[in-house]
Structure 1
């Protein structure tokens, strides 16, 4: 069995999803009690937060917190910035890498795919994740093991940035240690290269790392125990309890790791109008999504459109209260990194005749825990073989590619991140 097809940790799939959904909704409604009253209180809280974000954005105030990478390394991030990141659940880290280094990586990625004749070999595969951006030539390249990606993942400043972000999470609670915020594991992901002149409808608002699982799985019910107990005021979106025990249903969109933050590294200049990432900067908004699906105007077998094997959709029919808060990243330059809480609602804005390139490397924060270490070890096996990580479609383009780094070329941290020593 190749590493790309190795057995992944996943939860048993229900034989009948409509039946399972109806049963879960009945149990959760009974558990909450006055589920309509609890939801009304949460909705009022969301309306106030959304109104504040819209007012600040329209007044020209920044929505995304911005932090300097050197301040992270030096331990001198201003307290106000820390508070803003905790409030908004997202951040831009300026100059995680120098512009020159990021632009060099961008050019090296071009050389890597061209030297190995990727265009001639590429066959479009719609894995359901980025289909809205795909075309004959991809925007999302199923490339995982290039030298630029490996160098960025193991870079000391990147590691310090991820430790800083992990630190927003409570890693000890209920008498247990859930993860080690100071140790990295790898979650290898792809690259995006979106060419000048691109016209794209973008990606609609959604969340990752589980859709129907958030209501159906016992571990996720524990993650959101305060919400499902009707005690929203006690819900802490930064509490890591039980998140490392969630194993999603097997699909092409499952995530085998606990990511404190999703993230990407900019390889080109990008501006808010360039079809960039938008988020609803309210970490607590997941509570609204969970409770909205339990209301009486939603069919007993429906979870506001959530479907197994798909990202959790944010639908104007059910979630219109939240959508005005969608806010784009500020302008970024090569070497900046962009981060958002793993539960964060996000989208990709549409663009017509894009000006300049829109290139990124996807690199999240995934701290050490048994779940993440297990997946990282399997990614290490995939790296050695040059195949796709098992969370992604087994396209395996890089097998035998020239210029793919070897284990010996990795730093000690790079090997540790992949369970290779």
Structure 2
């Protein structure tokens, strides 16, 4: 397990740039932990008892929920439990169809989803976008990925056995590079990213994307699921980091009905990786996503989601404030699976009101070339059983907008791509063969479009584009300066 560094020793996280007092400076902890099994990533995966955190986390709770709001927060919790009960009935009766599907071709000339589709996606917090790339192109990418790891048998994967893992620890193969830089993949990412909104002066650009290189999965029938119910995009940071916690201010004040999961004002400067542990992520991914490389669907080892972003977020964030009897508890330090540096685990015994047996539902059919997205605060897992007759394969491509938090990581992603080594969050095993040894890995010349070059830091962002907000101009300029353009 990684050595945990206290936020008190990372004061630079809360320091400010002299050139712009609104921009935080980040000191990232380099990940040096070699994770040999997925179980090492997750908090309290086997324990049935929640782990009490340090006493200082009681003070964190008291910073968030003030005495003048105790009564309102208690009342909001009572309303929330009733709302969750009613929503569970609807989700259970509807099943996978509760998760919206939308055709890629319906994105309008301005790069937006039609209003009705956008409103539904924002309410549910997830969707399947159909037909982003041609079916045959997705199948060709899968075939080449499988061929690549067969040509290089020393590359690693997990979980065991090494000869037949589900996740392959490669990041820069030609199919992955081509998929991330495909113009329609980027167009779809932008349409999803534009569901978020921010104030004009906030230094974030949801229309510009950056690369977060991840792995690919090939899961065959019968293979057991390996990812438990969890949240990405940070863990204890949602409560502990001051800027991050401002995102949820309405929830802390007993007004969860007014919370908007798509307001990015405070997410732009939030720190989501205070500890650099094996379950942490050093990039703000506003949406998680994978591009389907097979005929994925229910009971075939696919993704499961809790598709109500407002109710589930309010519940998960308020859960540490209430005891088993539903009464406000400001002194305990149970955060129910949100352990520092580890992946945030969800459990029925810790989160009973979620009723995950009813509300954690399988994503609908996703054919090769379809793109599945879910909000960065959404609980999710993979189906434990694969009862299908063919593989369940995906390439992971999340949505990471241009923010100051993401710019430094983009510099590191570019270095890793050019060198053929794992990106910052992906610490290789000692026995793992890296892609720098492979002449057939992806190269810059495999990226054919200007937009594709921009997302990996090989071309500058356009600061002269018409209609940009002051915040967009500022963040693009900062990115260009940091990247050396």
1:330 aligns to what?
364
Gaps of 5+ in 1: 1-7, 126-132
- Does the C-alpha gap of structure 1 residues 134 and 206 become closer, same or farther in structure 2, counting only changes over 3 Å? farther
TM-score (norm 2): 0.76
| 1:287 aligned counterpart, secondary structure | helix
The 5 Å alignment of 1:304-383 reads 304-322=336-354, 323=356, 324-352=358-386, 354-383=388-417
The 5 Å alignment of 1:236-251 reads 236-247=260-271, 248-249=273-274, 250-251=276-277
1:407 aligns to what?
444
CA distance in 2, matches of 1:403, 1:251: 32
- 1:207 aligned residue (231, 253, 274): 231
In the TM superposition, residue 113 of structure 1 has moved relative to its aligned partner by 1.8
| Aligned residues of 1:102 and 1:266 also touching (Cα < 8 A) | yes
CA distance in 2, matches of 1:191, 1:51: 34
The 5 Å alignment of 1:116-131 reads 117=152, 119=153, 121-122=154-155
| 2:229 aligned counterpart, secondary structure | strand
- Does the C-alpha gap of structure 1 residues 20 and 76 become closer, same or farther in structure 2, counting only changes over 3 Å? closer
In the TM superposition, residue 198 of structure 1 has moved relative to its aligned partner by 3.0
1:220 aligns to what?
244
| Aligned residues of 1:171 and 1:181 also touching (Cα < 8 A) | no
1:3 aligns to what?
none
| Aligned residues of 1:73 and 1:157 also touching (Cα < 8 A) | no
2:462 aligns to what?
none
- 1:264 aligned residue (281, 290, 314): 290
| 2:435 aligned counterpart, secondary structure | coil
1:372-402 per-residue CA deviation (whole Å, 9 max, x = no partner) reads 2221121000001111110222356211212
CA distance in 1, matches of 2:335, 2:119: 33
In the TM superposition, residue 335 of structure 1 has moved relative to its aligned partner by 0.9
In the TM superposition, residue 262 of structure 1 has moved relative to its aligned partner by 0.5
In the TM superposition, residue 354 of structure 1 has moved relative to its aligned partner by 4.6
| Aligned residues of 1:72 and 1:160 also touching (Cα < 8 A) | no
- 1:167 aligned residue (178, 187, 194): 194
2:70 aligns to what?
33
TM-score (norm 1): 0.87
Q: Report how many aligned residue pairs link the two structures.
A: 396
In the TM superposition, residue 310 of structure 1 has moved relative to its aligned partner by 2.1
1:297-341 per-residue CA deviation (whole Å, 9 max, x = no partner) reads 377121123212222121212322221211111112111111111
CA distance in 1, matches of 2:434, 2:61: 43
CA distance in 2, matches of 1:122, 1:109: 12
In the TM superposition, residue 138 of structure 1 has moved relative to its aligned partner by 1.9
Instruction: Answer yes or no: is 1:417 the counterpart of 2:443.
Output: no
More divergent stretch after superposition (405-414 vs 221-230): 405-414
CA distance in 2, matches of 1:46, 1:352: 29
| Aligned residues of 1:267 and 1:335 also touching (Cα < 8 A) | yes
| 1:46 aligned counterpart, secondary structure | helix
In the TM superposition, residue 42 of structure 1 has moved relative to its aligned partner by 2.1
1:5 aligns to what?
none
Gaps of 5+ in 2: 1-25, 31-51, 460-485
In the TM superposition, residue 140 of structure 1 has moved relative to its aligned partner by 0.8
| Aligned residues of 1:96 and 1:337 also touching (Cα < 8 A) | yes
In the TM superposition, residue 192 of structure 1 has moved relative to its aligned partner by 0.6
1:129 aligns to what?
none
- Does the C-alpha gap of structure 1 residues 369 and 140 become closer, same or farther in structure 2, counting only changes over 3 Å? same
- Does the C-alpha gap of structure 1 residues 17 and 76 become closer, same or farther in structure 2, counting only changes over 3 Å? closer
Instruction: Answer yes or no: is 1:48 the counterpart of 2:86.
Output: yes
- Does the C-alpha gap of structure 1 residues 145 and 201 become closer, same or farther in structure 2, counting only changes over 3 Å? closer
- 1:102 aligned residue (118, 121, 138): 138
| Aligned residues of 2:279 and 2:343 also touching (Cα < 8 A) | yes
CA distance in 2, matches of 1:158, 1:124: 25
- Does the C-alpha gap of structure 1 residues 317 and 36 become closer, same or farther in structure 2, counting only changes over 3 Å? farther
1:180 aligns to what?
205
2:120 aligns to what?
84
Instruction: Answer yes or no: is 1:71 the counterpart of 2:97.
Output: no
| 2:170 aligned counterpart, secondary structure | coil
Root-mean-square deviation over aligned CA pairs: 2.4
In the TM superposition, residue 190 of structure 1 has moved relative to its aligned partner by 0.7
- Does the C-alpha gap of structure 1 residues 184 and 304 become closer, same or farther in structure 2, counting only changes over 3 Å? same
CA distance in 2, matches of 1:11, 1:187: 17
- 2:299 aligned residue (265, 273, 296): 273
